[in-house]
Structure 1
């Protein structure tokens, strides 16, 4: 086990030696050793003392807290990578328009290629919708034809947005009409498919933030996504080519009826995944996310290599000056 999901009301967590202990009503109900854990995801009415967070941090265990109906994530983690020169180099590169454009072009091209592959894979499996899926794949390709020659990062965002619209227009044929999925919507998601996509993207983003810290980078300083207060722009960059991995899981969960409309409710226009549905999702997510974690690690390592290449170190002050 690398990830522990705690989504249960009235649970109190404490640490006993090298073990995370669960209590309900003062009684010990379960325990998990800290050794194998890499991250703990908390949701719901869970209580714990600050000393538990400290112990998790000492053990290098990241903590993701999903709060509220929107499951907005807050992250706590152990010590980040200790080479601050990487972050200095990243900040330098963020001021280099040419470097930003190169990184952004690659991200958009990789994301669009992954979307095309996914649509064409399903075109070979779902003969009833082959025409719609192939047409959507062609429209994604057409939308990003100008990536290599795009003059600015802003123009790339326009191409990426057009490709995403074409992609989701094609993707909708893979879901039953009873799910009312007609494209991407969020804040709040208004149908079951978008509710699960949002949860999956949130968890993937949290993985990207953890990976940026582990790699010695600043998750708030990106290249494709602009700086914005409170937004982890680099993590947003990193997840773009890997969103299809979430889409792949969501399609499977609904087509295999692991998740059904009965697992959802609507409150004030927001479609919410209930506890029974979340349990099913978390089980499926943990079996699917390892590949995404590895892909994020590879992407982060490649970005670090590009960032530090040929960057001049800052001048060192002369002693006594």
Structure 2
């Protein structure tokens, strides 16, 4: 199973031995063994669970993401116990002042992201000759940016952000040609997303970020300490770093939802300036997300494990064996 979605009104979660017992309007309708769970996503109105449930989920290594019922905005994130090895976090913090490391790390992230953006636009061009001009223009601009990343000197982070931003504008200008005009997608917008495509992109990026935080913590990394996205109050900056190369994969997946008419405009409603994905649409969204998510989750696990291995040897020198310390 891996992921449990709680998206029903008036839902209560209780413990029953080694399983979660799910009740709706007082009637029990399902059991979910704890051992099957890695993550729980709560988006239903009036979902109730007590401290025992949260404690048992944490002990079982399951993470909990709480989203607002309508806007799909993150409200809370509950993780299990931290990895108990300090060496990785010590070295991770030390690397913040290593400009060369931060520049290489950041360049590699942006290069991977732009490469995947180019790949998506090229793939789309083969199946959408009607959008060939817009896609070709985007491919050319992104390829130029990629060339500067691959052949130029190692860039400092501020110019790199400028290059990434310019590439993103060209990319989304090309990407909008893939969606029907009726969806109103004219480029990336958020807080709130103003059209169905952006509503899905925002939710997909939120779920990617959740998995990145979880993967970082399991590997012994501190999700708050990033090297491209610098530490900031209330932001898991390392998770923001890790998500960047995965965004084009999420973009392609969202395109597929609309191309295959898994989601249509009828699954959305307007609320003020925002566009909301309704409950029926969320059911389709999450079901298909879980079929695609293993790919990016495996990448996150591998990338975090590799970074942790690199840092562990550096941080270990700061940790003395207590039995060898002098009085």
Q: After TM superposition, is the score higher than 0.5?
A: yes
Distance 2:311 2:121 in 1: 33
Larger relative contact order (CA 8 Å, sep ≥ 6): 2
SS at match of 2:252: helix
TM-score (norm 2): 0.94
2:89–2:315: 8 Å Cα contact kept in structure 1? Answer: no
Distance 1:73 1:270 in 2: 17
- The reply to whether residue 39 of structure 1 matches residue 43 of structure 2 is no
After TM superposition, list the pairs within 5 Å mapping 1:1-321 onto structure 2: 1-45=1-45, 46-67=47-68, 69-147=71-149, 148-308=152-312, 313-314=317-318, 316=320, 319-320=325-326
Q: CA RMSD in A?
A: 1.7
Moved more, 141-150 or 212-221: 141-150
Distance 1:164 1:278 in 2: 27
Distance 1:186 1:315 in 2: 44
1:119–1:137: 8 Å Cα contact kept in structure 2? Answer: yes
Distance 2:137 2:191 in 1: 29
2:87–2:314: 8 Å Cα contact kept in structure 1? Answer: no
Tell me by how many angstroms 1:70 deviates. Answer: 4.7
Residue segments in structure 1 that go unaligned for 5+ positions in a row: none
- Large movers: runs of 4+ above 6 Å: none
Distance 1:241 1:307 in 2: 21
Tell me by how many angstroms 1:38 deviates. Answer: 0.8
Distance 1:232 1:34 in 2: 27
Tell me by how many angstroms 1:143 deviates. Answer: 2.7
1:73–1:202: 8 Å Cα contact kept in structure 2? Answer: no
State how many pairs are aligned. 321
Moved more, 72-81 or 13-22: 72-81
Residues 270-298 of structure 1 deviation map (CA, whole Å, 9 limit, x = unaligned): 11101111001000100111111011112
1:150–1:156: 8 Å Cα contact kept in structure 2? Answer: no
1:42–1:64: 8 Å Cα contact kept in structure 2? Answer: yes
Tell me by how many angstroms 1:81 deviates. Answer: 2.0
